Structure 1
Amino acid sequence: MKTLFVSYRVTELDRSLAFYTALGYAELGRVEAGGGTRLVILKFPEEPAASLELVHRPGDGPVDVGSGFDHLAIQVEELATTLKTLIAAGLKPEPLQYPGGAHGPKTSWLTDPDSYRIELVERPSGHPDGITAADFD
């Protein structure tokens, strides 16, 4: 088994699509599901397949993220460069942080239009992609 993608319900599809496109996602496809429901499938250009789905069901009213959702984590190559790009695109990432100390990962946080939190992570040089069992040894 493997995870296919994460799906977020969004209040305003165009606003959310603009946000995630500025973040670096590219649209892979759309589905009109009836009753005004639209799905937009996204991926980062370097990903082989979809990783995020935006679901717009206008009849359900505004999105309430609530207390159960925490965040989406996205790995980036160079966080400082990514932050400059996001700021230039009109997004508002939080300042660079070093939660594991100077030699650990670098992070920054961003909030989408529906209040979903996104953690941007630059792994230390030489660290394999993603989080593996080796991170817990």
Structure 2
Amino acid sequence: MKTLFVSYRVTDLGRSLAFYRALGYAELGRVDLGDGGRLVILKFPDEPAASLELVHRAGGGPVEVGSGFDHLAIEVDALAATLERLTGAGLEPGPVEYPGGPDGPKTSWLTDPDGYRLELVEWPPDSPEGLTTEF
């Protein structure tokens, strides 16, 4: 088994697509769900497959982010450059943090239009790629 992607229900599909496109996601496809609902499948250009799905259900009302969801983590190559690009695109990333101390990963937090939190992570140069059994 393997995880395919995470799916978010969104209140305003156009607003959410603008946010995730500014973040760097590219659209792979759309599915009409009927009754005005649709989903859009996204991925980063360097990813081999879909990693995010946005689902809009017409008349579904505003999204209330539940207490069980915490955040989506996104790996970036250069956090400072990413934050500069996102700020230039009108997004509001938080300050750089060092949760593992000065030699650990660098992170910054961002919130999407529906309140979903995203953690941008730059791993230290000598660390294994992403989280592994060696983290």
TM-score by length of 1: 0.97
Q: How do 1:85-104 and structure 2 match up within 5 A? A: 85-104=85-104
Q: What is the SS of the residue equivalent to 2:21?
A: helix
**Structure 1 residue aligned with 2:57:** 57
Query: Which structure shows the bigger proportion of residues in helix conformation?
Result: 1
Q: State the distance in 1 between where 2:51 and 2:76 align.
A: 15
- Percent same amino acid at aligned positions? 73
Instruction: Figure out how many residues of one structure are paired with residues of the other and give that number.
Output: 135
Tell me, yes or no, if structure 1 residue 127 matches structure 2 residue 118: no
Q: State the distance in 2 between where 1:90 and 1:129 align.
A: 29
Please say if residues 128 and 134 of structure 2, whose CA atoms lie closer than 8 Å, have aligned partners that are also in contact: no
**Structure 2 residue aligned with 1:83:** 83
How well do the aligned residues superpose, as a CA RMSD in angstroms? 0.7
**Structure 1 residue aligned with 2:118:** 118
* Structure 1 alignment gaps of length 5 or more: none
Q: Which moved more, 1:12-21 or 1:29-38?
A: 29-38
Question: What is the one-letter code of the residue matched to 1:123?
Answer: W
Q: What is the SS of the residue equivalent to 1:39?
A: strand
**Structure 2 residue aligned with 1:41:** 41
**Structure 2 residue aligned with 1:66:** 66
* Structure 2 alignment gaps of length 5 or more: none
Q: State the distance in 2 between where 1:115 and 1:12 align.
A: 12
Q: What is the SS of the residue equivalent to 1:115?
A: coil
Question: What is the one-letter code of the residue matched to 1:3?
Answer: T
TM-score by length of 2: 0.98
